[in-house]
């Protein structure tokens, strides 16, 4: 039995030719069908050079288990999520490495109802079956191309979130990063045009290209933001949107090219939904919370905190029947989109919000002044446990409130921090926020950096 190194907490990711290849993808595909008893599986893929061959290997494997494969072709992860529920499939797989390096690929997978997979709900069983590689005789399933039908239904669902009558003339710059977003965006834009929406789009790095000639699409990295920011200002756009490789995350820039941190977008979208669904519940992660709590309270909603990570957020969405959930990492989840995350629904809603209330910069500036934050700062440490112990010893006795939903959250009155170990990388992640005083954020970051690195005790 071969131990597979590509299985992570919620998905499959690994280096091509080392952790993942077509043979391994096939074993995972058979394990997926067998573990879930899947007779119908949705399959999509991103535009990486290796994705088509890996997807074909998965399709053959699923059919070898007798499953019907509903093929989306080139598509975003969220299109797989939507199609799994829309076509009442037993599960879905998208072959994608999202924003990982060029020599990586992977798979994002869901079970029936687009519910996430983890160790407790089938991922461990899939892994055991794939590692044993003892599947026996093949059965003959079938492959069905549903790409056109699925995209039409997906576009209709995305636009169902929009009040078209509220739209005013806007110019929007979109940067697909040569990832999978381009064709899906074009389908949405075409339908908007057909319905008479007064929106003009400037497309940037729009054609899918698995070589990523303009760099791996990961707009969260500060070094990747200036190019989009400059294009926004040069084009005179009202705001800009950029996506990662499989476009389940989207990122915003105001008309002056300033990047909008994810926690403020969560607040904006919470406000949008609470205007439409008074009293609704909003899910948020525990890293940066004060702006979201303030927005939700003033809008008459109920904020519910969840652990960081899509599996936890999606379960909380279901448990609390929340209308919307957001993470500062730019994952945005929608009850009426299978409780899943989407990178297309947010920009449609922001277009409506800007049409109703004015410039994105103006909407964000007041929130940023009221609740400044540091952004997520990563520390790679020789002894993370000792570093965390130093932080606990210093701040727990001083804290007005302690929150251990995910890592350590300390409320110090006028400022707070959240410190947590990454689920996917060997780093410690720090977020600091304050009430109306950016200098407190800077002071908090400096003090915590010294404690974490051992410069002070």
- Please name the residues in contact with 124: beta carbons below 8 A apart, sequence gap of 6 or more: none
Which of these is catalytic: 50, 75, 98, 184? 98
Q: Is 18 exposed, middle or buried (0-12, 13-18, 19+ CB in 10 A)?
A: exposed
Per-residue pLDDT at 421: 85
Query: How many other C-beta atoms lie within 10 A of the C-beta of residue 406?
Result: 20
Per-residue pLDDT at 457: 63
What angle do the packed helices 123-132 and 22-36 form, to 10 degrees? 130
* Model confidence pLDDT, tens digit, residues 327-371: 999 999 999 999 999 999 999 999 999 999 999 999 999 999 999
* Model confidence pLDDT, tens digit, residues 158-178: 999 999 999 999 999 999 999
Whether pLDDT at 424 is above 70: no
Confidence of residue 423 (pLDDT cuts 50, 70, 90): low
Per-residue pLDDT at 192: 98
Mean pLDDT for the stretch of residues 371-379: 96
Q: Which of 78, 95, 114, 156 is nearest to 343 (CA)?
A: 78
* Model confidence pLDDT, tens digit, residues 267-308: 999 999 999 999 999 999 999 999 999 999 999 999 999 999
Mean pLDDT for the stretch of residues 249-263: 97
* Consecutive H or E run containing 152: helix 147-159
Per-residue pLDDT at 250: 97
Confidence of residue 47 (pLDDT cuts 50, 70, 90): very high
Query: How many other C-beta atoms lie within 10 A of the C-beta of residue 14?
Result: 22
Mean pLDDT for the stretch of residues 233-252: 98
Confidence of residue 425 (pLDDT cuts 50, 70, 90): low
Whether pLDDT at 422 is above 80: no
Helices (H), 22-107: 22-36, 51-64, 77-86
Per-residue pLDDT at 383: 87
Per-residue pLDDT at 182: 98
Please report, rounded to a whole number, the percentage of residues in the chain having pLDDT higher than 90.
93
Radius of gyration (Cα) for the chain, nearest Å? 22
Whether pLDDT at 408 is above 70: yes
Considering the entire predicted model, what is its pTM? 0.96
Per-residue pLDDT at 237: 98
Q: Is the dihedral of CA 306, 127, 249, 158 positive or negative?
A: negative
For residues 454 and 430, what is the distance between their CA atoms, to the nearest angstrom? 15
DSSP strand pairing (324-326 vs 281-284): parallel
Domains of the chain in sequence order: 12-150 (3.40.120.10), 160-370 (3.40.120.10), 377-453 (3.30.310.50)
Mean pLDDT for the stretch of residues 418-425: 79
**pLDDT: is 140 or 410 the higher one?**
410
Mean pLDDT for the stretch of residues 179-183: 98
Question: Is residue 235 within 8 Å of residue 168, measured between CB atoms?
Answer: no
Mean pLDDT for the stretch of residues 74-101: 97
Let me know if 98 is a catalytic residue: yes
Per-residue pLDDT at 255: 98
Per-residue pLDDT at 427: 86
Task: Provide the mean pLDDT of the chain.
Answer: 96
* Model confidence pLDDT, tens digit, residues 90-141: 999 999 999 899 999 999 999 999 999 988 889 999 999 999 999 999 998 9
Per-residue pLDDT at 382: 85
């Amino acid at each position: 039995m071969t131990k597979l190194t590509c299985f992570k907490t919620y998905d499959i990711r690994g280096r091509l030719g080392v952790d993942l290849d077509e043979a391994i993808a096939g074993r995972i595909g058979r394990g997926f069908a067998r573990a879930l008893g899947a007779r119908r599986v949705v399959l999509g893929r991103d535009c990486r050079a290796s994705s088509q061959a890996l997807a074909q290997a998965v399709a053959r494997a699923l059919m070898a288990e007798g499953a019907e494969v509903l093929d989306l072709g080139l598509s975003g992860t969220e299109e797989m999520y939507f199609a799994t529920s829309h076509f009442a499939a037993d599960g879905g797989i998208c072959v994608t490495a999202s924003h990982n390096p060029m020599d990586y690929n992977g798979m994002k997978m869901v079970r029936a109802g687009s519910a996430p997979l983890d160790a407790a709900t089938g991922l461990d069983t899939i892994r055991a079956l794939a590692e044993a590689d003892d599947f026996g005789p093949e059965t003959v399933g079938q492959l069905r191309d549903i790409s056109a039908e699925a995209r039409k239904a997906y576009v209709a669902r995305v636009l169902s979130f929009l009040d078209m009558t509220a739209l005013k003339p806007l110019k929007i710059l979109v940067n697909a990063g040569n990832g999978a977003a381009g064709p899906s965006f074009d389908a949405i834009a075409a339908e908007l045009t057909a319905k008479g929406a007064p929106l003009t789009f400037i497309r940037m790095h729009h054609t899918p290209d698995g070589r990523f000639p303009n760099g791996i699409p990961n707009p969260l990295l500060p070094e990747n933001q200036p190019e989009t920011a400059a294009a926004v200002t040069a084009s005179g756009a009202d705001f800009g949107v950029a996506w990662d490789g499989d476009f389940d995350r989207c990122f915003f820039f105001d008309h002056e090219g300033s990047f909008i941190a994810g926690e403020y977008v969560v607040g904006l979208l919470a406000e949008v939904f609470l205007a439409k669904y008074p009293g609704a519940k909003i899910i948020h992660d525990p890293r940066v919370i004060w702006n979201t709590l303030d927005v939700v309270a003033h809008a008459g909603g109920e904020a519910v905190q969840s652990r960081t990570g899509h599996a936890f957020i999606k379960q909380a969405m279901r448990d609390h029947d929340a209308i919307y959930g957001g993470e500062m990492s730019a994952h945005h989840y929608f009850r009426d989109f299978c409780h899943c995350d989407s990178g297309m629904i947010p920009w449609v809603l922001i277009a409506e919000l800007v049409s109703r209330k004015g410039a994105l910069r103006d909407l964000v500036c007041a929130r940023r002044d009221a609740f400044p934050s540091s952004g997520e700062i990563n520390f790679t440490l020789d002894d993370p446990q000792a570093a965390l112990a130093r932080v606990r010893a210093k701040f727990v006795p001083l804290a007005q409130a302690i929150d251990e939903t995910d890592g350590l959250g300390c409320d110090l009155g006028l400022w707070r921090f959240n410190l947590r170990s990454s689920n996917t990388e060997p780093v410690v992640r720090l977020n600091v926020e304050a009430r109306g005083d950016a200098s407190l954020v800077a002071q908090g970051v400096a003090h915590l950096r010294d404690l974490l690195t051992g410069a002070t005790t």
